[in-house]
């Protein structure tokens, strides 16, 4: 049945039908029917044969007995090539359905049933996707956060070290200046001492020479 089911909804090459080329008017389903899944980041996505097969398989597993929406859909398809408008096509398919015990309410309920089947599959996919994100992305996100924190800490440490180095350089320059000043002061003190020493020694030596000259 899967192949037949597939042919009811998509064309053989599995390309999505553009809205401008074909726009189906869906039956009005009960308010409890699932709403369309929304794509993310503005990417409308494309029809995937792999995922379509999974969804069709779920619908096949949950196929209701008797004439329901699926058989009604098949009737609509068989009438698609007939020269009739959409309303006539739906009414003709309904007339066929009534002969097999179906009515509009039953068809709407069964259509909603398949929407709910697809919703269950969507929930399964969401859970699997969440698990996959946690497995493939979550750990890398944590690693990324850890590296970013390490970078921030090291950057802060570098900033602190840079400030400390700048302070040390200023202190070094200050010490160099103080050393020059202190050296100059020490040299000046030394020279003052030597000058004072030489002055006294010269006076005493002069007295010695004079005493030898005049007291001898």
Domain containing residue 69: 2-149
Q: Which of 95-99, 136-140, 153-157 has the highest mean pLDDT?
A: 153-157
Q: Does residue 134 surpass a pLDDT of 80? A: yes
In a domain, 51, yes or no: yes
Q: What is the pLDDT of residue 34?
A: 65
Confidence grade of residue 18 (pLDDT, cut at 50, 70, 90): very low
In a domain, 194, yes or no: no
Q: What is the pLDDT of residue 8?
A: 77
Cα–Cα distance measured from residue 148 to residue 208, given in angstroms and rounded to the nearest whole number = 87
Residue carrying the six token digits 């929304």: 38
Burial class (CB in 10 A: 0-12, 13-18, 19+), 107: buried
pLDDT single digits (tens) 57-116? 888 888 888 888 888 988 988 898 889 999 999 999 999 889 988 899 999 999 999 999
Q: What is the pLDDT of residue 35?
A: 63
- Angle of CA points 28, 30, 34, to nearest 5°: 95
Cα–Cα distance measured from residue 214 to residue 201, given in angstroms and rounded to the nearest whole number = 20
Domain count, the chain: 1
Strand intervals (E) in 67-173:
none
In a domain, 35, yes or no: yes
Two tokens, residue 155? 């950057």
- Average per-residue pLDDT in the chain? 84
Q: What is the pLDDT of residue 201?
A: 96
In a domain, 10, yes or no: yes
In a domain, 196, yes or no: no
Two tokens, residue 87? 């309303």
Indicate whether this model's pTM tops 0.75: no
In a domain, 122, yes or no: yes
In a domain, 212, yes or no: no
In a domain, 163, yes or no: no
């Amino acid at each position: 049945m899967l192949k037949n089911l597939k042919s009811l909804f998509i064309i053989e090459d599995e390309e999505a039908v553009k809205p401008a080329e074909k726009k189906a008017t869906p039956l009005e389903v009960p308010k409890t029917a699932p709403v369309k899944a929304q794509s993310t980041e503005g990417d409308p996505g494309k029809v995937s044969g792999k995922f379509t097969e999974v969804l069709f398989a779920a619908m096949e597993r949950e196929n209701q007995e008797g004439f329901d929406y699926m058989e009604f859909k098949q009737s609509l398809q068989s009438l698609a090539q007939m020269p009739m408008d959409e309303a006539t096509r739906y009414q003709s398919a309904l007339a066929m359905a009534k002969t097999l015990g179906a009515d509009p309410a039953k068809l709407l309920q069964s259509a909603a049933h398949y929407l709910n089947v697809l919703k269950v599959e969507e929930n399964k996919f969401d859970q699997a996707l969440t698990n996959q994100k946690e497995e493939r992305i979550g750990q890398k996100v944590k690693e990324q956060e850890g590296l970013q924190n390490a970078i921030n800490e090291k950057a802060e440490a570098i900033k602190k070290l840079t400030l400390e180095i700048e302070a040390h350089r200023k202190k070094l320059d200050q010490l160099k200046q103080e050393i020059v000043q202190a050296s100059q002061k020490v040299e000046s003190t030394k020279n003052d001492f030597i000058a004072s020493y030489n002055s006294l020694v010269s006076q005493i030596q002069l007295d010695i020479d004079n005493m030898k000259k005049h007291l001898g």
